Structure 1
Amino acid sequence: MQRDLLVKFAHALSDPTRTEILMHLRSRPGYPSELAESFGVPRQSISNHLAELRTSGLVDVIREGRRSRYELADKRLGPLLDNITGLMLTVGPLAAGKNR
Protein backbone atom coordinates (compact mmCIF):
# COMPACT_ATOMS: atom_id res chain seq x y z
CA MET A 1 0.00 0.00 0.00
CA GLN A 2 2.66 2.56 1.01
CA ARG A 3 4.84 1.52 -1.90
CA ASP A 4 1.98 2.06 -4.35
CA LEU A 5 1.30 5.52 -2.94
CA LEU A 6 4.95 6.52 -3.27
CA VAL A 7 5.09 5.17 -6.82
CA LYS A 8 2.01 7.22 -7.71
CA PHE A 9 3.58 10.34 -6.17
CA ALA A 10 6.90 9.72 -7.94
CA HIS A 11 5.07 9.24 -11.24
CA ALA A 12 3.35 12.61 -10.80
CA LEU A 13 6.75 14.24 -10.25
CA SER A 14 8.42 12.35 -13.09
CA ASP A 15 7.25 14.79 -15.74
CA PRO A 16 8.84 18.27 -15.72
CA THR A 17 5.59 20.01 -16.67
CA ARG A 18 3.62 18.29 -13.89
CA THR A 19 6.35 19.19 -11.42
CA GLU A 20 6.29 22.79 -12.63
CA ILE A 21 2.51 22.88 -12.21
CA LEU A 22 2.78 21.59 -8.64
CA MET A 23 5.49 24.11 -7.82
CA HIS A 24 3.33 26.91 -9.22
CA LEU A 25 0.29 25.77 -7.23
CA ARG A 26 2.30 25.96 -3.99
CA SER A 27 1.78 29.71 -3.90
CA ARG A 28 -1.54 30.23 -5.64
CA PRO A 29 -4.31 28.47 -7.56
CA GLY A 30 -4.02 28.24 -11.32
CA TYR A 31 -6.23 28.17 -14.39
CA PRO A 32 -5.34 25.93 -17.35
CA SER A 33 -5.09 28.77 -19.86
CA GLU A 34 -2.86 30.85 -17.55
CA LEU A 35 -0.64 27.86 -16.77
CA ALA A 36 -0.29 27.06 -20.47
CA GLU A 37 0.69 30.62 -21.29
CA SER A 38 3.06 30.88 -18.33
CA PHE A 39 4.87 27.63 -19.19
CA GLY A 40 4.73 28.02 -22.98
CA VAL A 41 2.91 24.70 -23.32
CA PRO A 42 -0.26 24.02 -25.35
CA ARG A 43 -3.44 24.24 -23.30
CA GLN A 44 -4.40 20.65 -24.19
CA SER A 45 -1.08 19.45 -22.80
CA ILE A 46 -1.66 21.37 -19.56
CA SER A 47 -5.17 19.91 -19.32
CA ASN A 48 -3.76 16.40 -19.71
CA HIS A 49 -1.18 17.02 -17.00
CA LEU A 50 -3.81 18.48 -14.68
CA ALA A 51 -6.00 15.41 -15.25
CA GLU A 52 -3.05 13.18 -14.31
CA LEU A 53 -2.43 15.23 -11.16
CA ARG A 54 -6.12 15.04 -10.29
CA THR A 55 -6.12 11.26 -10.78
CA SER A 56 -3.13 10.97 -8.47
CA GLY A 57 -4.99 13.00 -5.84
CA LEU A 58 -2.48 15.85 -5.72
CA VAL A 59 -4.70 18.63 -7.08
CA ASP A 60 -8.33 19.55 -6.76
CA VAL A 61 -10.45 21.31 -9.34
CA ILE A 62 -12.92 24.03 -8.34
CA ARG A 63 -15.54 24.92 -10.93
CA GLU A 64 -16.17 28.65 -11.31
CA GLY A 65 -18.94 28.86 -13.85
CA ARG A 66 -17.31 27.96 -17.16
CA ARG A 67 -13.77 28.12 -15.74
CA SER A 68 -11.88 25.59 -13.67
CA ARG A 69 -9.42 26.61 -10.98
CA TYR A 70 -6.80 24.14 -9.78
CA GLU A 71 -5.13 24.07 -6.41
CA LEU A 72 -3.10 21.65 -4.32
CA ALA A 73 -5.34 19.02 -2.75
CA ASP A 74 -3.68 19.47 0.64
CA LYS A 75 -1.81 22.47 2.02
CA ARG A 76 0.96 20.13 3.28
CA LEU A 77 2.04 19.45 -0.33
CA GLY A 78 3.70 22.85 -0.69
CA PRO A 79 6.10 22.40 2.24
CA LEU A 80 6.64 18.77 1.22
CA LEU A 81 7.82 19.86 -2.24
CA ASP A 82 10.14 22.41 -0.61
CA ASN A 83 11.50 19.73 1.73
CA ILE A 84 12.11 17.29 -1.12
CA THR A 85 13.96 20.00 -3.05
CA GLY A 86 16.07 20.85 -0.01
CA LEU A 87 16.83 17.20 0.64
CA MET A 88 17.90 16.61 -2.95
CA LEU A 89 20.19 19.64 -2.78
CA THR A 90 21.80 18.02 0.26
CA VAL A 91 22.02 14.37 -0.77
CA GLY A 92 21.32 14.28 -4.49
CA PRO A 93 23.69 14.40 -7.45
CA LEU A 94 23.73 18.22 -7.43
CA ALA A 95 24.75 18.43 -3.76
CA ALA A 96 27.95 20.33 -3.03
CA GLY A 97 30.94 17.99 -2.88
CA LYS A 98 29.14 15.09 -4.60
CA ASN A 99 31.02 13.51 -7.46
CA ARG A 100 28.53 11.35 -9.35
Structure 2
Amino acid sequence: MSGTESASLVHSPAMLALASSLLRGRSPKPTIHAFLNSGVCRILLALREAPAYPADLADALGISRTRLSNHLACLRDCGLVVTVPDGRRTRYQLADERLGHALDDLRAAVVAVETDRACADADEKGCC
Protein backbone atom coordinates (compact mmCIF):
# COMPACT_ATOMS: atom_id res chain seq x y z
CA MET A 1 0.00 0.00 0.00
CA SER A 2 1.46 3.36 -0.99
CA GLY A 3 1.57 6.42 1.24
CA THR A 4 -1.31 7.97 -0.70
CA GLU A 5 -3.44 4.86 -0.22
CA SER A 6 -2.61 4.77 3.48
CA ALA A 7 -3.63 8.42 3.78
CA SER A 8 -6.96 7.62 2.10
CA LEU A 9 -7.65 4.92 4.68
CA VAL A 10 -6.68 7.15 7.58
CA HIS A 11 -8.84 10.00 6.26
CA SER A 12 -11.86 7.86 5.43
CA PRO A 13 -15.11 9.12 7.04
CA ALA A 14 -15.36 6.03 9.27
CA MET A 15 -11.81 6.38 10.58
CA LEU A 16 -12.21 10.14 11.12
CA ALA A 17 -15.44 9.57 13.04
CA LEU A 18 -13.75 6.91 15.17
CA ALA A 19 -10.78 9.19 15.89
CA SER A 20 -13.11 12.08 16.68
CA SER A 21 -15.05 9.95 19.18
CA LEU A 22 -11.87 8.87 20.90
CA LEU A 23 -10.42 12.40 21.06
CA ARG A 24 -13.62 13.78 22.58
CA GLY A 25 -13.63 11.11 25.25
CA ARG A 26 -16.76 9.52 23.84
CA SER A 27 -17.27 5.84 23.46
CA PRO A 28 -16.23 4.65 20.00
CA LYS A 29 -18.90 1.96 20.23
CA PRO A 30 -21.57 3.62 18.01
CA THR A 31 -19.00 4.54 15.35
CA ILE A 32 -17.45 1.08 15.34
CA HIS A 33 -20.88 -0.53 15.08
CA ALA A 34 -21.88 1.77 12.24
CA PHE A 35 -18.74 0.82 10.35
CA LEU A 36 -18.98 -2.90 11.08
CA ASN A 37 -22.67 -3.10 10.21
CA SER A 38 -22.32 -1.15 7.00
CA GLY A 39 -22.39 -2.69 3.56
CA VAL A 40 -18.84 -1.50 3.05
CA CYS A 41 -17.57 -3.55 5.97
CA ARG A 42 -19.53 -6.61 4.86
CA ILE A 43 -17.87 -6.32 1.46
CA LEU A 44 -14.42 -5.98 3.02
CA LEU A 45 -15.03 -9.01 5.23
CA ALA A 46 -16.20 -11.05 2.24
CA LEU A 47 -13.13 -10.04 0.25
CA ARG A 48 -10.97 -10.88 3.24
CA GLU A 49 -12.09 -14.48 2.80
CA ALA A 50 -11.43 -14.58 -0.96
CA PRO A 51 -11.40 -12.39 -4.08
CA ALA A 52 -14.81 -12.21 -5.74
CA TYR A 53 -16.77 -10.98 -8.74
CA PRO A 54 -19.34 -8.21 -8.16
CA ALA A 55 -22.37 -10.31 -9.14
CA ASP A 56 -21.31 -13.08 -6.75
CA LEU A 57 -20.72 -10.58 -3.94
CA ALA A 58 -24.13 -8.96 -4.46
CA ASP A 59 -25.85 -12.34 -4.30
CA ALA A 60 -23.86 -13.53 -1.28
CA LEU A 61 -24.44 -10.32 0.67
CA GLY A 62 -28.05 -9.86 -0.40
CA ILE A 63 -27.60 -6.31 -1.67
CA SER A 64 -28.44 -4.81 -5.03
CA ARG A 65 -25.79 -4.77 -7.71
CA THR A 66 -26.15 -1.01 -7.99
CA ARG A 67 -25.47 -0.49 -4.28
CA LEU A 68 -22.58 -2.96 -4.41
CA SER A 69 -21.12 -1.16 -7.43
CA ASN A 70 -21.24 2.15 -5.55
CA HIS A 71 -19.54 0.63 -2.50
CA LEU A 72 -16.86 -1.04 -4.62
CA ALA A 73 -16.15 2.24 -6.44
CA CYS A 74 -15.74 3.99 -3.08
CA LEU A 75 -13.47 1.24 -1.76
CA ARG A 76 -11.42 1.30 -4.97
CA ASP A 77 -11.08 5.10 -4.82
CA CYS A 78 -9.91 4.83 -1.20
CA GLY A 79 -7.31 2.26 -2.18
CA LEU A 80 -8.81 -0.51 -0.05
CA VAL A 81 -9.62 -2.85 -2.94
CA VAL A 82 -8.12 -3.43 -6.36
CA THR A 83 -9.54 -4.87 -9.54
CA VAL A 84 -8.05 -7.82 -11.39
CA PRO A 85 -9.14 -8.32 -15.00
CA ASP A 86 -10.20 -11.89 -15.68
CA GLY A 87 -11.22 -12.26 -19.30
CA ARG A 88 -14.39 -10.22 -19.77
CA ARG A 89 -15.01 -10.04 -16.03
CA THR A 90 -13.39 -8.07 -13.23
CA ARG A 91 -12.54 -9.64 -9.90
CA TYR A 92 -12.11 -7.59 -6.72
CA GLN A 93 -9.72 -8.26 -3.87
CA LEU A 94 -8.26 -6.45 -0.89
CA ALA A 95 -5.48 -4.09 -1.93
CA ASP A 96 -3.22 -5.35 0.85
CA GLU A 97 -3.42 -8.45 3.02
CA ARG A 98 -2.77 -6.29 6.08
CA LEU A 99 -6.30 -4.92 5.68
CA GLY A 100 -7.61 -8.37 6.59
CA HIS A 101 -5.58 -8.30 9.80
CA ALA A 102 -6.84 -4.79 10.57
CA LEU A 103 -10.44 -5.99 10.12
CA ASP A 104 -9.77 -8.85 12.52
CA ASP A 105 -8.37 -6.38 15.06
CA LEU A 106 -11.39 -4.11 14.66
CA ARG A 107 -13.78 -7.02 15.18
CA ALA A 108 -11.85 -8.03 18.31
CA ALA A 109 -12.09 -4.45 19.58
CA VAL A 110 -15.85 -4.48 19.09
CA VAL A 111 -16.15 -7.70 21.09
CA ALA A 112 -13.99 -6.22 23.83
CA VAL A 113 -16.05 -3.02 23.97
CA GLU A 114 -19.31 -4.98 23.95
CA THR A 115 -18.24 -7.17 26.85
CA ASP A 116 -16.21 -4.49 28.67
CA ARG A 117 -13.16 -6.72 28.40
CA ALA A 118 -9.65 -5.76 27.40
CA CYS A 119 -9.46 -8.60 24.89
CA ALA A 120 -11.84 -10.71 22.85
CA ASP A 121 -10.43 -13.98 24.19
CA ALA A 122 -10.97 -13.21 27.88
CA ASP A 123 -13.23 -16.21 28.54
CA GLU A 124 -10.86 -18.65 26.87
CA LYS A 125 -7.69 -17.19 28.35
CA GLY A 126 -9.13 -16.44 31.79
CA CYS A 127 -7.85 -12.89 31.74
CA CYS A 128 -9.36 -9.39 31.97
The two structures share one fold, judged by TM-score above 0.5: yes
Larger helix fraction of residues: 2
CA deviations 1:59-89 (Å, max 9, x no partner) are: 0001112111000000111111001110221
Pair 1:30–1:4, CA change in 2 (3 A): closer
Structure 2: gaps spanning 5 or more residues: 16-33, 118-128
1:46 aligns with 2:68: yes
Pair 1:28–1:9, CA change in 2 (3 A): farther
Aligned counterpart for 2:115 among listed residues 84, 95, 98: 95
Residues 8 and 78, structure 2, Cα contact 8 Å, conserved in 1 = no
In structure 2, distance between residues paired with 1:22 and 1:50: 9
Any runs of at least 4 consecutive aligned residues in structure 1 with deviations exceeding 3 A, and if so which? 1-5
In structure 2, distance between residues paired with 1:32 and 1:3: 26
Aligned length: 94
Instruction: Report the AA paired with residue 42 of structure 2.
Output: E
Structure 1: gaps spanning 5 or more residues: none
In structure 1, distance between residues paired with 2:65 and 2:8: 30
